[in-house]
Amino acid sequence: MDAELQADRAALADTVRRFAESEIAPNVEAWDDAGEFPRALYTRAAELGLLGLGYPEAFGGTPASYSLKLPAWIALARHGKSGGVLASLFSHNIGLPPVVLHASDEVRHEVVPAVLRGEKIAALAITEPGGGSDVAALRTTARRDGDHYVLNGEKTFITSGMRADWITVAVRTGEGRGAGGISMLLVPGDAAGLSRTRLSKMGWLCSDTATLHFDNVRVPARYLLGNEGEGFRMVMGNFNGERIGLAAGALGFAQACLDEALAWSRERKTFGAALVEHQVVRHKLVDMQMRIASTEAWLEAVCAEGDAHEAEGRFNAPEWVAQVCMLKNHATQTMQFCADQAVQILGGMGFMRGTVSERIYREVKVMMIGGGAEEIMKELAARQLGWV
């Protein structure tokens, strides 16, 4: 890694740390109780350039490689200490890429700049009540009617679903079932016939999550992304960035658990000695650090390889996609292990609301499921490696 990239990474990570420590972490408990965080946080993140990180300058963004963004992702999780904030504050990172890559130039300029300025919220809607990870089986339909599409169906578990101003929706425009008939449409949040139902969750309490209902929703045909029938490929390609972001966040949350557990073990005394002086506790801390170190090294390697592939014009190389899938599993398992060990070290306090480890413990499962469940990741990795 060259000196310039190292300096840029350090500066960005420091900016993110200060933002997370001053404007996110102190407010998370109150935001969890409220079930959402203020929309003003989007504007503040935009002012720091965080919403536009990785997007073209033409839309008000700042182009950035995986390797440059990585320390920022980790710092947001480690110092913000809330998956709910990160999920909704950056839901545009899964909702906007298909727009940037496949919308008309007119639509891109209509939609993207306002989101990157924090004025509008973007979301992605793929999952359906009866579909889960089986994207090819989705049933929400979009029927062409003149210069509009008419949408009918439901999407669920949609992050930022209650507040999104723009929703990138996977729909079925072709006949029958299977991947070939899937397309992507951009749906305005104020479209007539679109209704939303808030969902209650185990964790990510300040992230609004919803089921979306489409009842003869008319969407201008100019909001079709790419061509009809190309949606499945867009969805699959979009997953890679999401999974790397999830892995980076999982690492940051694992570090946050270690931070709290180590501080507690130094302060808490039992049997006349600090917890850290007991071998069994020290070994738990070392086991946490061991998994964190391996996850960090793998993340760095996968990001560097992804940057190299993109520089060569090799997008979604099978061997790299396999690495992303396995890394996502490894990182979320690291988060799970560290959250569990931290709660154990904190003892009764680890079971109390208000501790970092308690919150992260509740957020583990959504990280292991979201963006592709563990089982799906293993199967996809095996296929990308040519084993089946």
Number of H helices, E strands in the chain: 13, 10
CA distance 217 to 193: 5
CB 357 within 8 A of CB 346: yes
CA distance 86 to 137: 29
Query: Token pair of 24, please?
Result: 């996110």
Query: Token pair of 384, please?
Result: 């990308």
Three-state DSSP at 284 gives helix
Cα atoms in the 13 Å half-sphere on the side-chain side of 191: 27
Residue 30: Cβ-neighbour burial (10 angstroms; 0-12, 13-18, 19+): exposed
Neighbouring residues of 201: CB distance < 8 A, sequence distance ≥ 6: 207, 209, 366
Residue 10: other Cβ atoms inside 10 A: 11
CA distance 254 to 187: 36
Neighbouring residues of 211: CB distance < 8 A, sequence distance ≥ 6: 129, 154, 155, 156, 157, 158, 161, 196, 197, 199
Query: Token pair of 322, please?
Result: 């396999």
Q: Closest Cα partner for 337 from 283, 275, 291, 293? A: 291
DSSP state of 62: B
CA distance 122 to 164: 5
Query: Token pair of 358, please?
Result: 């308690």
Per the residue annotation, which of 242, 260, 358, 363 is the catalytic one? 242
CA distance 355 to 29: 10
Told to judge if 57 belongs to the known catalytic residues of this protein, a careful annotator would answer no
Query: Token pair of 52, please?
Result: 């536009």
- Torsion, CA 193, CA 86, CA 328, CA 69, rounded to 10: 120
| Active centre residues (catalytic) | 242
